[in-house]
Amino acid sequence: MRTIDIKEVKKQVKAKLADLGTQTDSKVEQAIKKAVSDETNELAKDILKTLLENYKIGRDKCLPICQDTGTVVFFVELGEEICLQNGSLTDALNEAVSEVWQEQYFRASILKDPLFDRVNTKDNTPAIIHTELFKGDKLTIRMALKGGGAENMSALKMLKPSDGKDGIKAFVLDTIIQAGGNACPPLIVGIGIGGNFETCALLAKKALLREFKSPHPERAWALLEEELLQAINQTNIGPQGLGGATTALAVQIETAPCHLASLPVAVNLNCHAHRHCVITF
């Protein structure tokens, strides 16, 4: 049995969250630099250059790279041979969020009630926390700051098995087209396929937290990721929805076994401010 101090977990999570609000994934930044040289649409090229300038200002001056500093989402992978000491993990994660949002003056975006009492909690809590048990003695925490604009344009559909690959592609493309510029492209597209109604949505979110542009380990799914990326970039939606060949930077798929009568598909969009990281204890 391995012991992990909750206080140390909070300390490291807090440090990462403070950086996440002001920096995008370095690989995303490199992908946008490449897109600048590949783009033939001059307006799209100018927008991509502006995004790069924004990233530099955020990094150099420790300022948020987007005014929407997002909902904080945690995926916790907890080893069964771990003993957590000196507090509650859930409390520690929420305390880290609360302190960072107040100390960094990030925008608080979480409301107490979704409809009847839309009062701001003022510290961006509660965070969304998903916890899974795994064999072993490691604790892994994946975290993301998820903006509302891209999240609002995400979608889920219970396809019929007979819809097959063509049905999946049609649904994904329709979701992208309906989103247009509202999700702040260029996008990272997370897709969950399989499981059931709720798990395919979680798979789509998990897909976004995978290492940027890491292909699916199974070749058939990796090829589908490539096909979808090409098709999305042929829509001419482009950066910020103003035209061009850079609508998406990556498509990442996660899958799970499903019922023989079902083909659940979820599409979770992320904007160019791809703010995520992982900590392993």
pLDDT tens across 105-125, in order? Answer: 999 999 999 999 999 999 999
Whether this model's pTM surpasses 0.85:
yes
For the chain (281 residues), the mean pLDDT of every run of 10, in chain order, is 96 97 95 97 98 97 96 98 97 98 96 97 98 97 97 98 98 98 98 98 97 97 98 98 98 98 98 96 97
Encoded tokens for 28: 């995303």
The Cα 148–Cα 244 span in angstroms is 24
Compute CA 82 distance to the chain's CA centroid, rounded to the nearest angstrom. Answer: 27
Domain ranges of the chain: 2-21+65-146, 148-274
Residue 221 is predicted with a pLDDT of 98
Residue 87 is predicted with a pLDDT of 96
CA 210, 215, 221, 225 dihedral sign is positive
The Cα 147–Cα 125 span in angstroms is 15
Q: Is the peptide bond before 114 cis (omega within 30 degrees of 0)?
A: no
The Cα 165–Cα 225 span in angstroms is 12
Place of tokens 């929420």: 94
The Cα 50–Cα 56 span in angstroms is 10
Residue 39 is predicted with a pLDDT of 97
Domain 2-21+65-146 has CATH 3.40.50: no
Phi first, then psi: what are they for 192, rounded to 5°?
-110, 130
The Cα 74–Cα 143 span in angstroms is 4
DSSP for 229-273 reads HHHHHTS---GGGSSSS-SEEEEEEEEEEE-TT-EEEEEEEE-S-
Residue 204 is predicted with a pLDDT of 98
Residue 196 is predicted with a pLDDT of 98
Compute CA 120 distance to the chain's CA centroid, rounded to the nearest angstrom. Answer: 23
Encoded tokens for 86: 């000196």
Hey, is 173 helix, strand or coil?
helix
The Cα 139–Cα 5 span in angstroms is 11
Longest dimension (CA), the chain: 59
- pLDDT, tens digit, 9 for 90 and up, residues 206-244: 999 999 999 999 999 999 999 999 999 999 999 999 999
Residue 37 is predicted with a pLDDT of 96
Encoded tokens for 61: 């001056």
Residue 29 is predicted with a pLDDT of 96
Q: Residues 42-60, buried b or exposed e (16+ Cβ, 10 A)?
A: eebbebbeebbebbeebbe
